[in-house]
A and B are shown apart, each in its own frame.
Chain A
Amino acid sequence: MIYLLRRFAFYVAAFFVALTFNFFIPRLMPGDPSARIIASFQGRLNEAQIDAIRQSYGLTGSLWEQYLTYMGSVFRLDFGISTVQFPEPTASLLFYGATWTLVLVGLAVFFAFIIGSMMGIHAAWNRGGFFDSFFTPINVMMNAFTPAIVALLLFYAFSLQLQWFPLGRAHSTEIMPGFTFLFIGNVLYHATLPVLSIFLVSFGGWHLGMRNVMINLLNEDFVILARAKGLSDRRVRYRYVARNAILPQITALALSIGFLLGGALVTEQVFNYPGLGKFTFTAIGSRDYSFIQGQLLLLTASVLVANMLSDIANVILDPRLRT
């Protein structure tokens, strides 16, 4: 319990650091967001109007007051008003996009982690064999192909040339959203290629991580003892070695969520998928600062939540932490 509480305290502190970053970055840069809007009116604004714009960006008062206003608005989930889709609040856009991004990243991480770890277990158990010396390098190399490229290649091959998969969107417009087989099937059909491209660039990492930790564990005394007791290979492999090797993997999984979400931003751009990345892209184009800052906060928060979940999973899997 103390362990979990300490971790929780760290996440709260880390979130405040992220908030502070987010607060100071625009204020340290030359020309704040409001200056751009004010400049676009080419001097046709009077003092009061300029003040109103600056106030809507929380740029009035002393730095400390601005900081408090900012903190307050974040905890009310008030990220300001989107300039791209004008009267819409940024928060609702953020959560709409985040839902689709979570679908993509969730599916991809699920498959990549399970398949990658299983391959790693297999490679470590038969280390030096054909599977290990052939697939380990290949899988890890795929890890170094950026999501942008894999997405582009898949898009070219399967969407443009073979036309097996759609050119964009999360679901067809003619199907009513709802919990029907038709709709869910349609969503999965549209998500196949984006999920595949995130999957392809991430499963190699789990393969290598699992393999390397497993190989180190296989020479430990407890494994030799387990085998000497005559336990079945299966039991030694999964209950003894893999259960220990999965612990650092789960920690790494939580840390990689940020990287994967970043990768999803690019993938969505290629597949024209209406997730956070697509909206971020339009926000970059029109310099919609409230959205861009909001996505950083939302992604940071989700990484922190993922880390918290991994700590809880570690406590469940590892009795040594339960003191």
Chain B
Amino acid sequence: MSELTHTPSIALTSRGDKATDTMRAPTQQELMRELGVKPKPGWTSRLPPSVAAFVTNGKGMAGVVILLALVLTAVFAPLLSSYDPGRRAGKPHVQPSYEHVLGTTRMGKDVFTQLVHGARVSLAVGFGAGIFAAMIGLAIGISSGYFGGKVDDILTFFVNVVLVLPGLPLIIVIATMVEQASPMVIGLVLALTGWGWAARTIRTQTLALRTREFVLSAELMGEKKWRIILVEIFPNMLSFVMGGLVLGTIAAILAEAALEFIGLGDPNAVTWGTMLFWAQRNMALQSGAWWEVFPPCLAIMLTGAALVLVNFAVDEITNPQLKASRNIGRIRKFLSRRGRSADVF
């Protein structure tokens, strides 16, 4: 950043270009504004660097805000509506109105109430499975990367098997065997089948870290292995764990919805997936009751989109070249406006 702020304005603007010769040279402040460089360090600079990198990322913060709103809705669901999500609240297929904000289902249940109550289970299962999968991935990835040798061979074999086994069909088999899979069971199965990617990226990262000086010196000082893993290696993994967590959560929320949609979940649980299941079973779309189908669809899409935004931020933190690529657009525009070749990047 400091390179940009100190760029002498003359060098970029007055190279015999006739158009710029007649104009006065822009002040440094104007240049900084054009390049999007903040004049003063904001309050974010006082945060720890990893947090600041996240907070200053527009996309990531947008995702976090949406997620927070969804979680708050889920937590305060009983306050938001006075109906019982599992009980009949009115006539079947009432259009959205003052009494039923999003209408009612074929069974006469209030769609809005089901939506906010369904958020509780859907989000809990999604985040629970995501966190659990990231934990398994972390444990297996770090140990196979750090210990190497036989341990690595065996663990990598299992990581690869988990990666090639098709997740959803496997879950279908397990879910049919346990009769009706409660959201808990679905979440557990999703976590147990979804840690492959996290383990693979974390293993690669551990391999890179294992030969770095700070780990070697810790080993020379005779630190215990578990301490090296926890204190030296683990903090450098946080963003990768976050990435695994976010991706795992997306996969879990989508897979849970898909499983319940095709009728493998517990049909009495109120989740976004079972809402879609009942809507499909009762031919809601065919009978014109779009309000029974669209709200859970939009809720799942919104959650997915928010998580993707967070993942963008995580990606940019783990891979600095991606972050730099954002500024390249501004610099290119800056150069081409002055008639200079922007071809150097």
Contact = CB atoms under 8 A, between A and B. Distances in A.
Interface of A: 10-11, 13-14, 17-18, 21-22, 25-26, 29-30, 124, 126-129, 132-133, 137, 140-141, 143-149, 152-153, 155-156, 160, 212, 215-216, 218-219, 255, 257-259, 261-263, 265-266, 269-270, 277, 280-281, 284-285, 287, 289, 292-293, 295-296, 299-300, 303-304, 307
B285 interface: yes
Interface in B293-345: 293, 297, 300-301, 304-305, 307-309, 312, 315, 319, 321-322, 325-330, 332, 345
User: Which one of B59, B172, B330, B345 has the highest number of Cβ atoms from chain A below 10 Å of its Cβ?
Assistant: B172
B77 interface: no
B176 A156 contact: no
Given A14-B161, A266-B258, A299 B325 contact: no
B172 A14 contact: no
B322 A258 contact: no
A300 B285 contact: no
B305 A21 contact: no
A144 B286 contact: no
Contact of B262 (A144, A258, A265): A265
Given A128-B330, A137-B308, A156 B165 contact: no
B165 A18 contact: yes
Contacts of B321: 215-216, 219
A228 B276 CA distance: 57
Contacts of A285: 263
B164 A258 contact: yes
B177 A25 contact: yes
Nearest to B177: A29
- The 7 A-B residue pairs whose C-beta atoms are closest, nearest first, are A128-B329, A262-B168, A258-B166, A144-B304, A127-B325, A146-B254, A29-B177
B209 interface: no
Contacts of A280: 169, 172
Interface of B: 59, 157, 160-161, 163-170, 172-174, 176-178, 250, 254-255, 257-258, 261-264, 276, 280, 285-286, 290, 293, 297, 300-301, 304-305, 307-309, 312, 315, 319, 321-322, 325-330, 332, 345
A293 B173 contact: yes
Contact of A17 (B161, B177, B315): B161
B261 A266 contact: yes
Contacts of A14: 160-161, 164-165
A216 B167 contact: no
Nearest to A288: B176
B329 A127 contact: yes
B285 A160 contact: yes
A40 to B, nearest CB: 14
18 contacts: A25-B177, A137-B308, A137-B312, A144-B250, A145-B304, A145-B305, A146-B300, A152-B293, A258-B167, A259-B166, A259-B167, A259-B168, A262-B168, A265-B169, A280-B169, A292-B173, A303-B164, A303-B165
Nearest to A156: B285
A141 B160 CA distance: 27
A93 to B, nearest CB: 15
User: Which one of B157, B164, B167 has the highest number of Cβ atoms from chain A below 10 Å of its Cβ?
Assistant: B164
